[in-house]
Amino acid sequence: MKRDLMPFWQALLRDPRRIGAIAPAGRALCSAMVREVLGRPPGLVIELGAGTGAITRGLLEAREQMSGLIAFEKAPELAACLQRKFPGLTIHPGCASAVGQLQLPGENTLTLVSSLPFRSLPSGDRHRLSDAIAKLSAATPHFRLIQYSYFGKLPFPSPAKHLAWRRKHTVIRNLPPATLWVLEKT
């Protein structure tokens, strides 16, 4: 994990608003996110802002419970690092808003797992991501987005009338403590 810190800090120094964290997700937070994903049959799992791959690793360990696993990561050094670490995994090196353009024939259950720091992202990114989430959720019968935030804050306003947030528990053993949230159909 220490080797991952160099590309993380490089990306943080270059673009702090898009990294939005002082450290990768800790072990307790990763386990909590994966448990939340597996709390219901997850279908296709798409990770948004996979960063150093701390959560990706846990998701890969549960891969047989999913119909597929895909990751998006915008920072080039982190995307390259993910590709080296997980050579069998499909990683899209670019903006996660491209998730709205994926063709997902026959996929009726979709779980998005997001570490995106929505609150600090530039507004153009935020709008593109919100639109993509609204579009995907409308097209998929069983949809969830699982996200963590710091200091208990709502991650971002619901991007559509048919979606609402549910606040889950807070993982104290993370730096800083992180609260899990689930965005799902009302």
The values of phi and psi at residue 183, to 5°, are -100, 120
**Residue 155 binding ligand SAM, by CB under 6 A:** no
Q: Which of residues 21 and 145 has its CB atom nearest to ligand SAM in the complex?
A: 21
Pick from 32, 69, 70, 96: which binds ligand SAM (CB under 6 A)? 96
Of 100-139, binders to ligand SAM (CB under 6 A) are 115-117, 121, 125
**Residue 95 binding ligand SAM, by CB under 6 A:** yes
Of 4-23, binders to ligand SAM (CB under 6 A) are 11, 18-21
Minimum distance, C-beta of residue 112 to ligand SAM, in the bound complex (Å): 12
Pick from 7, 42, 43, 49: which binds ligand SAM (CB under 6 A)? 49
Is 87 exposed, middle or buried, given 0-12, 13-18 or 19+ CB atoms closer than 10 A?
exposed
The values of phi and psi at residue 129, to 5°, are -65, -45
- Non-local (6+) Cβ contacts of 128 within 8 A are 95, 97
Indicate the pairing of strand 142-150 with strand 68-72: unpaired
**Residue 54 binding ligand SAM, by CB under 6 A:** yes
* DSSP H helical ranges for the chain: 2-14, 16-19, 27-38, 54-61, 76-85, 123-139
**Residue 82 binding ligand SAM, by CB under 6 A:** no
Q: Which residues bind ligand SAM (CB under 6 A)?
A: 11, 18-21, 24-25, 48-49, 51-52, 54-55, 72-75, 78, 95-96, 115-117, 121, 125
